[in-house]
Amino acid sequence: MDDEELSEVERSELICSDTITLNIVKSIKESLISALDNYRGKLEPNVNFAHGTPKEPAQIDGGTMLMLDHPSNINYIEMQLSDEDSRFYCYYIETSIDQHIWGRVVDHSNYHCRSIQRLWFLRRFVRYIRIVGTKNTNNKTFTILKIMYNTDKMHLVEIKNGLIAPKYNVALTSMDAIVIEGRMNFKSLLDGDYENYDRFRGDTYHLENECITVQLAQPYVLSSMRMLLWDCDSRSSYGYTVEVSVNNKDWDMIVDKSKEWARSWQSMQFEQRPIIYIRITGVRCSNKNGIFFKCVYLEAPAQVSLDSNVTPRQRRSISRLFSRKK
C-alpha cells in the first residue's frame, strides 16, 4: 500500500477508533518515509534549485507540483504567497523522490500565513515538491523564491514539532510582520529601530478601548519577547496585557501587568508555543493625554539574555545585526 492508500485507511470508519491499528498504520507510513533516507545524492550547500523550476507548475492530486532538474538534498524553501484578497493563507508541503511516496515537510494547514514564507525542515532528498492549499484555495498564486540546502543560517533555527523556533527577531517588517491594529506616528513598531523616537514621532499607540495587534508572516515557536514602552515623559507609566494566538480568535494571555505600573523596557518569558498574532492592550495609563498606550519597539524572540545586564551599546549592535533585511 502506498502513502495515499494508508491515509484512506486512517480515515476509515472501521478503524478510526482503534488506537492499536492506527498506531500500526502510522508506523508503516513512517517506515515508508524513512526509506527515502536510503537514497543518496549530491549535497550542494546554498545552491538555489528554484531557478530550474517552471513558472507555471503542474496541478496534480489537489495541489501544485514542482519538479527539480535533478534529485537534491534540501532543508529550506522560500516562497511568496499572494495575500491580495485576504490576510492569511493555509497550506502544507510534501516532497517525493518518485511521486509515489510523499512525506510532509511543512504543515501550515491550520495556521494563518501571509507574504514571504521562510520554511526550514530536516534535510530531505527530493525530486518533486507538492504544495496544497487548505484554506483560501481560490487564491493559489505564489512564487517560489528559493529551494536549497541552506547552511548560512542553519545555526539560527531549531525545528520544534515541525515549526521553526528562531533565534533571530521575526517581529520585523523585513521579515514581513505587519501591524494590523494600532495607530502609528511616522514609523512602524517593527522597523527594528528603538533609538530614534521623541514626543511626537517613533511610536505605535492606541486609544482607550483599543489595542495593538501584530501579525507575523508564519507560525513561529517562541518563548520570549521584549518591548520598549514610550518613556519620553517621566510621568508616563502603563498597565498592560499581552496575548498571543495562531488564528486571531483563540487567545492566550502570556503577560498580565494590568495591576502594575510599567515603563520603558519590558522583558517577557513564557511557556514555549506557536505564535502568529501578538496583541498588546493598555489597561491603564498614568498620563491622561488622550493617547492611552504607546509602544516604540517589539522584539520576538528577545535578542538579549533576559536575566543579564546588557549595555545599550550591546543592544544597539544586536538590533542592527538582526534588523537587516534577511
What pLDDT, on a 0 to 100 scale, did the predictor assign at position 251?
Answer: 97
User: Looking at residue 4, what is its pLDDT?
Assistant: 58
For the segment 15-25, what is each residue's pLDDT rounded down to a tens digit?
666 677 767 76
Higher pLDDT, 51 or 301: 301
CB 156 within 8 A of CB 82: no
Domains and CATH numbers, the chain: 39-152 (2.60.120.260), 173-323 (2.60.120.260)
Tell me the C-alpha distance between 107 and 132, whole Å: 10
Mean pLDDT in residue range 34-49: 72
Q: Which residues have a Cβ under 8 Å from the Cβ of 209 and sit 6 or more positions away? A: none
pLDDT digits (tens, 9 = 90+) for 263-281: 899 999 999 999 999 999 9
pTM for this prediction:
0.79
Residues 131-179: tens digit of each pLDDT: 998 876 455 667 899 999 999 989 999 999 999 999 999 999 999 999 9
Cα–Cα distance for residue pair 277/250, rounded to 1 Å: 10
Which range (13-22, 51-60, 206-215, 256-265) has the least confidence? 51-60
d(CA 225, CA 243): 12
**Cα–Cα distance for residue pair 39/17, rounded to 1 Å:** 35
- The segment with the largest mean pLDDT, out of 16-25, 63-72, 148-157, 301-310, is 148-157
Q: What is the mean pLDDT of residues 174-200?
A: 87
Mean pLDDT for 76-98 is 84
Q: Report residue 321's pLDDT band, with 50, 70 and 90 as the boundaries.
A: very low
Q: What is the pLDDT of residue 234?
A: 74
Is 311's pLDDT higher than 80? Answer: no
Mean pLDDT, the chain, rounded, equals: 82
pLDDT at 114 over 80: yes
What element of type H or E holds 132?
Answer: strand 116-135
**pLDDT mean over 47-61:** 67
Reference 303, options 313, 285, 318; nearest CA is 318
Among 26-40, 62-76, 114-128, 225-239, the range of highest mean pLDDT: 114-128
Percent of the residues in the chain that have a pLDDT greater than 70, as a whole number: 75
- pLDDT recorded at residue 322: 47
Would the CA dihedral through 250, 113, 228, 226 be positive or negative? positive
